[in-house]
Amino acid sequence: MVECLEGERKMELNLRNTGRLSKLLVGGYRALYRPKSEGRTCGYLIAVEVEGGYAIVDTTTQMSLFEIALEKGVFRWLDGFEVEKRNVRYASSRFDYLLRKQALELLLELKSATHAEGPVALYPDAPTERGRRHVAELAQLARSGLRTALYFLAAHPRAKSFRVFREVDEGLYREILKAVESGVDVRALKIAMDKNLLVYAGSDPLPIIWP
């Protein structure tokens, strides 16, 4: 949970993001939230104002926007794919999506990249054992012949490229390199919100910087 002020009213909001968000959860920053009528908190933290717009921090919102963009055919490399299933179990993990395009299936895991340094979006912003396990299992499934993908969703308006935050989790970085070698489709895509609260998505993947 995070503590916020609406005028002079203090309230608590649910944070549906497991990252540290140390550059976003800062006193004095403006934020957007979705209210709710039940439960301990007043709502869900959706986005935080930054230079150039809003960084979308709520992973549920990120996934909803991804699905809308997919349905509208925004992502050129996914043209024709549709959501077959959500929260799909393979091996010992659950993955975000099973996409289908006629006879083609694609097992997809989305990772939220809201941390940015200048124009570069980074993931993760904290060590992630779950992330390492996901990537290793995607690589294993790819080697067994299943079509798999790992996409980093840069939800920050300044993002023009993406980099794995190797300094934060060296083990994850190495697992991602192995995944690429195993045939996992690793990309970064951008979905963000401008200062007028308009959401936009890039039709082409962001460049990935490999240190």
Query: Residue 104's pLDDT is what?
Result: 95
Radius of gyration (Cα) for the chain, nearest Å?
17
Residues 115, 72: Cα–Cα separation, whole Å: 27
Task: List, for residues 15-35, the tens digit of each pLDDT value.
Answer: 999 999 999 999 899 999 999
Confidence category of residue 92, pLDDT binned at 50, 70, 90: confident
When pLDDT is cut at 50, 70 and 90, the band that residue 8 belongs to is confident
Looking at the DSSP assignment, which residues form a beta bridge with residue 55? 48
Predicted confidence (pLDDT) at residue 164 exceeds the cutoff of 80: yes
Q: Which amino acid would we find at residue 121?
A: A
Distance CA 83, CA 67 (A): 8
* pLDDT at residue 23 in the model: 92
The predicted-structure confidence for 39-82, as pLDDT tens digits, reads as follows: 889 999 999 999 999 999 999 999 999 999 999 999 999 999 99
Q: What is the dihedral of CA 180, 144, 149, 176, to 10 degrees?
A: -30
Check if the beta carbon of residue 60 is closer than 8 Å to that of residue 16.
yes
Cα–Cα dist 78/106, whole Å: 10
Output the pTM of the full model. Answer: 0.94
Domains of the chain: 2-55 (no CATH), 59-209 (3.40.1350.60)
pLDDT, residue 1, reads 85
Tokens of 172: 């994850």
Residue 192 has pLDDT above 80, yes or no: yes
Question: Quick one: pLDDT at residue 117?
Answer: 96
Which tokens is 47 given?
């986005």
Q: Give which of 129, 208, 135, 136 is closest to 169, Cα–Cα.
A: 129
- What residues pair up with 62 in beta bridges, in sequence order? none
C-alpha span between 188 and 209 (Å, rounded):
10
Name which of 89, 100, 91 is nearest 147 in CA terms. 100
174: exposed, middle or buried (Cβ count in 10 Å: 0-12, 13-18, 19+): middle
